[in-house]
Structure 1
């Protein structure tokens, strides 16, 4: 009987934690990190602020976990593309396209997770997130190097450049302070331009010339 109570308590605690994190994510998606204060998170989750502090030491820990959860979803998607049957060129184009399109479909959340000014602890979490994305892009680039599709010199540098292009290039369109709405045709055009740029940057020009 005590085991059953313990199991139910663990389930309730896990659900409380999940609800708190989901509430924080929703607040960030609506108004950025500035709106995700502990009391606001607690109110949205339907719990007391004291209960939030039972699971997290401070606001930064809540936001770091939201960031970690979000980036692991993105990395899982990119890893699935990297493990697919497409050519390396197709994988790179699809990976960049997918990442940028998902960012533009949730502009406030994406902007906050990637660019909104934050404290050093959360900024370090961002750095770790970009490292995870870089590892997947390195895998795709390495495949292309082996197959002769890509002609860069240094794998790590090439991966850093691709990650930089697919993240920082969206600062302007995502920035909520610009208060600009983009229609779907512009989004499609913008996303394709970034993906094409990344592929062209690492493409093996000699191989491409020979096949034309």
Structure 2
């Protein structure tokens, strides 16, 4: 007779799998992907080490899924700010501020998601989500062009450049506390500098009169 799992058993297993992912994400937030070990994860979940492999074929797969879990949350917030109602220029500033503020607040996790060297499976997911961020900014830039806020341009190229600028501008500051240095992030100044560069890059000399200034608080 073939054994079939009941819905109750499947629900319990799905819940444990999600608990493992959440715990793994917390480990990465505390110490990066280097702190995520199967042994530590099993101890936190109160299960045997071998049991973890019933839910994940390898640590590489686990890391890739943890990356996806963490990045999806940030992607959703950027999408919310970038594609909301209102002037495209203001939405650009809001999206940059939202991403940067959260990255600085959770700098260990942010560095792990943006730049920490990990397994190739994570690099594959990293590329996928950079493209997802670029698609959001492309929609924003195209809307700005239609509204006359931004000059005609290759929106896809501008969007990819924005993603690169935001990530690279944050990597250094996010690394400072991790390398034992005494550097302190001047959050308002850093965010305003990134906002200014991004707005200038897509609006150029055609930035509309009365356009929002970088550093303004989000509505």
Same topology, TM > 0.5: yes
Deviation at 1:207, TM superposition (A): 5.3
Q: Say whether the 8 Å CA contact 1:152–1:204 is kept in structure 2.
A: no
Q: How far apart are the structure 2 equivalents of 1:179 and 1:32? A: 18
Residue aligning to 1:177: 179
Consecutive unaligned residues in structure 1, runs of 5 or more: none
Q: Say whether the 8 Å CA contact 1:152–1:202 is kept in structure 2.
A: no
Residue aligning to 2:25: 25
Q: CA RMSD in A?
A: 1.9
Q: How far apart are the structure 2 equivalents of 1:189 and 1:82? A: 21
Q: How far apart are the structure 2 equivalents of 1:18 and 1:174? A: 28
Deviations 1:24-52 (A, max 9, x none): 11111111111101111111122122111
Moved over 2 A (4+): 178-183, 206-211
Deviations 1:130-153 (A, max 9, x none): 111111111111100111111252
Residue aligning to 2:155: 155
Deviation at 1:55, TM superposition (A): 0.8
So what's the TM-score if we normalise by structure 2?
A: 0.87
Aligned length: 205
Deviation at 1:7, TM superposition (A): 2.2
Deviation at 1:202, TM superposition (A): 0.8
Deviations 1:137-196 (A, max 9, x none): 11111100111111252111100110011111111111111444636xx21221121112
Q: How far apart are the structure 1 equivalents of 2:120 and 2:11? A: 33
Q: How far apart are the structure 2 equivalents of 1:188 and 1:207? A: 22
- Greater helix percent: which structure? 1
Distance 1:95 1:61, change over 3 A: same
Residue aligning to 1:38: 38
Q: How far apart are the structure 2 equivalents of 1:100 and 1:60? A: 28
Residue aligning to 1:74: 74
Distance 1:180 1:42, change over 3 A: farther
Q: How far apart are the structure 1 equivalents of 2:182 and 2:172? A: 10
So what's the TM-score if we normalise by structure 1?
A: 0.90
